Amino acid sequence: MLDLRLIREQTEFVKERLGSRGDNYDELIDQIVSLDEKRRKIIAEVENLKHRRNLVSKEIGVMMKEGKDVTALREEMRQVGDQINELDALLRNVESELERLTLFVPNIPHESVPVGRDESGNKIVRVWGEPKEFDFEPKPHWEIGEELGIIDFYRGVKLSGSRFYGLKGLGATLERALINFMLDLHTKEHGYTEVFLPFLVKPYCMEGTGQLPKFSEEMYWCERDNLWLIPTAEVSVTNLHREEILDAEDLPLKYVSYSACFRREAGAAGKDIKGVIRVHQFNKVELVKITTPEQSYEELESMVRDACHVLELLKLPHRVVLLCTGDLGFSASKTYDIEVWMPGMNRWLEISSCSNCEDFQARRMNLRYRPYRGAKPRYAHTLNGSGVAVGRTMAAILENYQQKDGSIVLPEVLRTYLKGVERIG
């Protein structure tokens, strides 16, 4: 959520910056500005009346003790009270509409974000490693997984429908090993605190991180209990300290969390239909930081490095991409994607996305910190990034480590997590 004051006082700036995302928000912003004006007018009026009522009510109390007649004043105040109720009701309507609209406004891109229409405007920041040369035609991971009997697409679909899959034997073990490897790396070497949180959350959590109200179609909803399945642990972890005022000396808070992620992929019919890269349920290890505005961009850089470290240790070639304004997510001010090389698919594949949301989410969830003793609270900055997507990492391992004979030689760093197993097949 953007600061209403910013929208009010720098309307043109806000419109222009939002416009760089590729959609026009002028009309929405104009509606917000005019509702805000209306709101302030009503407030001025109703507060005057309340002030008067407070004074007179006190006086009535005093007069009653003195045995004076107060019927006339009482009657007058009853009328004032009616007016207040009317105005308050009006104000509630205006405020709820204002809030509703404001929740649909995306975050303002950071000034360092390149302006561009779509992913063609993204900038490659750096590349790590080189795509391996194969002396045979490398296969895509879905063929490898099926041939080795470690990924079961058919039965995943039998159980739950399209875009679900199952793992078996060393496939299941590898998935689990990857999760543990990533969690250990981030807790032991990068200083994150591990948390394990609910996968089902209240609607206000989804609103807090920006999935609701705009992206309800993308998520699974348990209607009976009005709970939502998280599309990423970003939701549960970032909301962990919602409505709190944190001490500055505790910042930055750095959390890492494993979670299953659930996505309806509503707008992706027919896209990436093969393999495990676009499915309704997948595992992810997520990084979240809560920090100060002064530190947040440094923290974004180090978060990207922490995520890349996973891929470096796995010796998977990857590159870091700075997203342009048109490719930026709703809540983000600045985002780096990390893309891994998939020799079987012959393309780069997003395996992590690290964003600084500045105070956009913090404002939605009322997450603040106190810069120093006695100071006014300020909104914190929140960051999130995959560290990294587990299913896609498994796919990348299958494709990058495949051998001519169809077997997989497992990355060395995983061997302690695989009880010494060195290859599959």
Q: How far is the CB of 362 from RNA (least distance, A)?
A: 12
The candidate with the shortest Cα–Cα distance to 354, out of 281, 290, 301, is 301
Kindly provide the residue ranges of all beta strands, DSSP E only, lying in 178-270, ordered along the sequence. Answer: 193-195, 200-201, 221-222, 227-229, 245-247, 253-262
Cα 30 to Cα 16, 34, 109: the distances in Å are: 13, 6, 20
CB of 245 to RNA, least distance (A): 7
Which residue type does 206 have?
M
Tell the smallest beta-carbon distance from residue 56 to RNA (Å): 6
Q: Which of 288, 290, 292 is nearest to 372 (CA)?
A: 292
Quick note: the x/- pattern for RNA over 47-86, rule CB under 7 A, is xx-xx-xxxxxx-xxx-xx--------x--xx--x---x-
CB nearer to RNA: pick between 16 and 47: 47
Q: How far apart are CA 334 and CA 316, in angstroms?
A: 25
Nearest approach in angstroms of CB 33 to RNA is 12
CB 248 within 8 A of CB 220: no
Please tell me the distance from the alpha carbon of residue 93 to that of residue 88, in angstroms, as a whole number.
9
Nearest in space to 181 (alpha carbons), one of 424, 421, 420, 414: 414
Q: Least distance to RNA from the beta carbon of 361, Å? A: 17
Backbone phi, psi, residue 201, to 5°: -135, 165
Is 92 a residue that touches RNA (CB under 7 A)?
Answer: yes
Site string for RNA, 227-256 (x = CB under 7 A): ------------------x-----------
- Does position 89 bind RNA by CB under 7 A? yes
Residue ranges in 351-390 that form contacts with RNA under rule CB under 7 A: 368, 370, 373-374, 376-377
Contact string 265-294 vs RNA (x = CB under 7 A): ------------------------------
- The residues annotated as belonging to the active site are 263, 278, 350, 353, 392
3-state secondary structure labels for all residues of 149-191: CCEEHHHHHHHHCCCCCEECCHHHHHHHHHHHHHHHHHHHHCC
**Is residue 43 a contact residue for RNA (CB under 7 A)?**
yes
Q: Which residues bind RNA (CB under 7 A)?
A: 4, 40, 43-44, 46-48, 50-51, 53-58, 60-62, 64-65, 74, 77-78, 81, 85, 88-89, 92, 245, 368, 370, 373-374, 376-377
